[in-house]
Amino acid sequence: MDEKYVMSPLVIDALTEAGNIGAGHAATSLSKLLGEHIMNHVTKSVVVPIEDVPDTLGGGDKIVAGIYTTFAGELTGGILMLFPESSANTISKVLLNCEITGAQLTDLQNSMMSEIGNICLCWYLSAIAKMVNTEIIPTPPVTAYDMIEAAIDLPLIELGKVADTAMIIMTEFRGEIHAIEGIFLMLLEPDSLKEMARRLGVA
Amino acid sequence: MVSTIHVGIGQMAVAHSPTRLVCLGLGSCVAIAFWDHTTKIGGMAHVMLPDESCAPRRPLQSAAAKFGSSAVKALIKEMKDQGANIYTTTAKIAGGANMFKDVGLEMKDIGLKNAEAVRCSLDEHKIRIIAVDVGGTNGRTVDLDTTTGKLSIRTIRGRTVVV
């Protein structure tokens, strides 16, 4: 385990709460987009070796739509939204009035997913930025529609350049009408975790 | 009941027949599958990055299998330790896709760079590559049967190839 990841319960609590607030803002914007009340479950922070991240997320080769954004500034890392196959299909029906066929997103569906990520993930990040009084600059989001491990391996590769252990701040969400569900997931680089804890006044 | 070892990202494993070695959902990662037909021992590494220069601030504990440049050497050693004959061992590689269509240039190439690093390293160690399925935009699940040496490669778009 990396030395940097030996974190006190207080630090973990503070980071979890920050993730909770970020995910709250993201869920509100997703609710407006879909015209459906999206509820967040409790945010969890988990510290695991990178190779265990897929299992932590339910693992295996089930199909997901994964929307991924990296961000830079004083905090660097990646943030993702994951929708299981059925929810991705429902969203496509609600917003575009068409289904996902042949296990492949059309250009329009791909663009729609990226735009959902753009809106929700930016709300997430801007809430965090405000809370810790810094600027976070996100890159345009990109979308993959594939097996969950394949969809999250690039984010893990990026994190893998600076760490062997990941701290995942994850929130599951669910909508009431269409039963849309998914996960918000933030992966901060070790130095950024420290910096965020410092700015939250718990380091 | 044949047991299966799931080789996680940045990890490797060696197993005797009839155990199966599996990497689930390779995106930009590359799987190296070794098989020695004389002893029916197989090995698999799930490579994340081409070499250590990609991780300048790399923590020291990183597993060798994380990098294409060091994974081959580590896998050869483990195969030998388990009794395999490295001169009759052949390699198959799969993965190295680009999962995100619009991703920035630096990240777009990571899959192909991984594949290239693995290929170079195999050449360096004189391990013969007998099958390659790299690149593209599909995630792959690979499954090595250590009894026959067959590697099955599955994607979600309905194509399963056995090499």
Please tell me if residue B96 touches chain A, with a CB cutoff of 8 Å: no
Q: CA nearest A198: which of A74, A100, A59, A20?
A: A74
- Res B25 pLDDT > 70: yes
* A59-77: pLDDT as tens digits: 777 999 999 999 998 899 9
* B69-97: pLDDT as tens digits: 899 999 999 999 999 999 999 999 999 99
Strands (E) in B2-145, as ranges, are: 4-6, 12-16, 20-26, 30-36, 41-47, 89-95, 128-134, 140-145
Average model confidence (pLDDT) for chain B?
92
Of the pLDDT bands very low, low, confident and very high (cuts 50, 70, 90), residue B61 is low
- Whether B29 is catalytic is yes
d(CA A50, CA A159): 8
Q: Is A156–B48 a contact, with Cβ atoms under 8 angstroms apart?
A: yes
Share above pLDDT 70 across residues of chain B, in percent, rounded to a whole number: 94
* A90-128: pLDDT as tens digits: 999 999 999 999 899 999 999 999 999 999 999 999 999
d(CA A165, CA A162): 9
Tallying the residues shown for chain A, one arrives at: 203
Alpha carbons within 13 angstroms on the beta-carbon side of residue B17 total: 13
Q: Is B107–A158 a contact, with Cβ atoms under 8 angstroms apart?
A: yes
- Res B100 pLDDT > 60: yes
Whether the ipTM is more than 0.95: the answer is no
The CA-based angle A142-A143-A147, given to 5 degrees, is 140
Q: Can you list the domains of chain B with their CATH numbers?
A: 4-162 (3.30.1330.200)
Please tell me if residue A147 touches chain B, with a CB cutoff of 8 Å: yes
Residue A30, helix vs strand vs coil = helix
* A130-183: pLDDT as tens digits: 999 999 999 999 999 999 999 999 999 999 988 888 889 999 999 988 889 999
Contacts of B10 in chain A (CB under 8 A): 50-51, 160, 164
User: Measured in whole angstroms, how far is the alpha carbon of residue A108 from the centre of its chain?
Assistant: 22
The predicted pLDDT at position A143 comes to 95
- Res B55 pLDDT > 90: no
Q: Is B26–A153 a contact, with Cβ atoms under 8 angstroms apart?
A: yes
Please tell me if residue A149 touches chain B, with a CB cutoff of 8 Å: yes
d(CA A114, CA A69): 9
The predicted pLDDT at position B56 comes to 63
Top CATH class of A3-199 equals alpha beta
The CA-based angle B141-B142-B145, given to 5 degrees, is 145
The predicted pLDDT at position A3 comes to 47
Residue B121, helix vs strand vs coil = helix
Q: CA nearest A39: which of A49, A27, A48?
A: A27
Amino acid at A37: H
Helix (H), strand (E) counts: chain B: 3, 10
Amino acid at B153: I
DSSP conformation letters of chain A: --GGG---HHHHHHHHHHHHHHHHHHHHHHHHHHTS-EEEEEEEEEEEEGGGHHHHTT-TT-EEEEEEEEEEESS-EEEEEEEEHHHHHHHHHHHHS---BTTB--HHHHHHHHHHHHHHHHHHHHHHHHHTT--EEEPPPEEEEEEHHHHHHHHHHHHHTT-SEEEEEEEEEEESSS--EEEEEEEE-HHHHHHHHHHTT--
Domain boundary assignment for chain A: 3-199
Q: What does the CA dihedral A113, B50, B134, B92 come to, rounded to 10 degrees?
A: -140
B88 to chain A, closest Cα gap in Å: 30
- Res A4 pLDDT > 80: no
Please tell me if residue B157 touches chain A, with a CB cutoff of 8 Å: yes
d(CA A127, CA A194): 18
Please report where in the chains the tokens 């917003």 appear, as a residue.
A95
Of the pLDDT bands very low, low, confident and very high (cuts 50, 70, 90), residue B158 is confident
Average model confidence (pLDDT) for chain A?
90
d(CA B160, CA B5): 20
d(CA B92, CA B119): 10
Peptide bond into B18 cis (omega under 30): yes
The predicted pLDDT at position B101 comes to 80
The predicted pLDDT at position A92 comes to 96
